[in-house]
Amino acid sequence: MDFSDIFARYEGFVAEVDAIFSKVKEAHPEAVKCAEGCDDCCYALFDLSLVEAMYLNQKFNEQFSGAARSNVMQRADKADREAYKIKRKVFKASQEGRQAAEILDEIAAMRVRCPLLDEDNRCDLYDYRPVTCRLYGIPTAYGGESRTCGLSDFKPGDSYPTVNMEQVHERLYNLSRELVASINTKHVGMEEILVPVSMALMNKYDEDYLGIVEGAESQESDCGSCGGGHTWEVKGPEKERHAAPGGIGDLRPPSGDEE
């Protein structure tokens, strides 16, 4: 299976994200505190889209083998167990009818060490890190709520360029959808899969996982068989999916809320 074309377009999107981060940092150097050795974002809980997960998995398999690979896999297993415990709490809270925003605020305060963070607190796959990692230090907005890194110095009430994360997620979803469309799979809704970094590293994205079938048979089974990853989606009001207009740098003043 060759996903090089889609992965190349994903890398192009990553370049857009990096350019936006650099633009904000150049405009507000006093507020962006990201620096070599800072690992605050490496404890954040977040999910990867299918295209991100498969890309990261490929780079991990290309870069690591032997004892070094085993060490990362052990860290991934530990992180996944911790993530599972938190997911159970999230599910219970959602069943109790608590508001999605309240639950997400609690998740933002929880910390699980990323399995790619090595013993020297350096990222083992820094050049291939996910989009969320690349945007962590600048203002982002989701569902009308703006957030900044707790270590940053963006002032509440002031206006800053803010990344619209709904557009980011839409771009990643569209790439994932194209990836799924390029294979003959029996799984339905596979482009919707979200997994943490730990599961992305441990998964084996082979023909069995992807549900590859021969001939015309396809789109028959629910993708619940696709690996058992732990997602962090808290259902809110249903809305129709649509292609995101414009780019991902939605310039609007943040509310000043911080994680």
Q: Where are the domains of the chain?
A: 4-225
Helix (H, G, I), strand (E, B) or coil at 22: helix
Residues 126-163: tens digit of each pLDDT: 999 999 999 999 999 888 888 888 888 898 888 889 99
Residues 92-116: tens digit of each pLDDT: 888 888 887 777 777 777 789 999 9
Smallest CA-to-CA distance from 114 within 233, 196, 204 is with 196
Q: How would residue 48 be classed by pLDDT, with cut points 50, 70 and 90?
A: very high
pLDDT, average across residues 13-41 = 93
Phi, psi for residue 121 in degrees, rounded to 5: 60, 40
Residue located via tokens 């295209």 = 51
- Both structure tokens of 252: 């609007």
The answer to whether the CB of 26 falls within 8 A of the CB of 149 is no
Q: How far is CA 257 from CA 105, 144, 155, in A?
A: 11, 11, 10
Of the chain, the percentage scoring pLDDT greater than 70 comes to 82
Question: Does the pLDDT at position 74 exceed 90?
Answer: yes
The reported pLDDT for the residue numbered 237 is 31
The reported pLDDT for the residue numbered 139 is 92
Smallest CA-to-CA distance from 196 within 25, 78, 24 is with 78
- Both structure tokens of 255: 């509310």
The reported pLDDT for the residue numbered 107 is 72
Detail the DSSP E strand segments found in the chain: 140-142, 145-147, 163-164, 187-188, 221-222
Better-predicted residue by pLDDT, 99 or 125: 125
The C-alpha atoms of residue 162 and residue 180 are separated, in whole angstroms, by 31
The answer to whether the CB of 197 falls within 8 A of the CB of 114 is yes
pTM, 2 dp? 0.80
Better-predicted residue by pLDDT, 98 or 39: 39
Angle at 121 between CA 120 and CA 122, to 5 degrees: 90
Ramachandran category for residue 32: left, alpha or beta (phi over 0 → left; psi -120 to 50 → alpha)? beta
**How many C-beta atoms lie closer than 10 Å to residue 253's C-beta?**
14
Better-predicted residue by pLDDT, 232 or 1: 1
Q: How would residue 215 be classed by pLDDT, with cut points 50, 70 and 90?
A: low
Q: What is the mean pLDDT of the chain?
A: 83
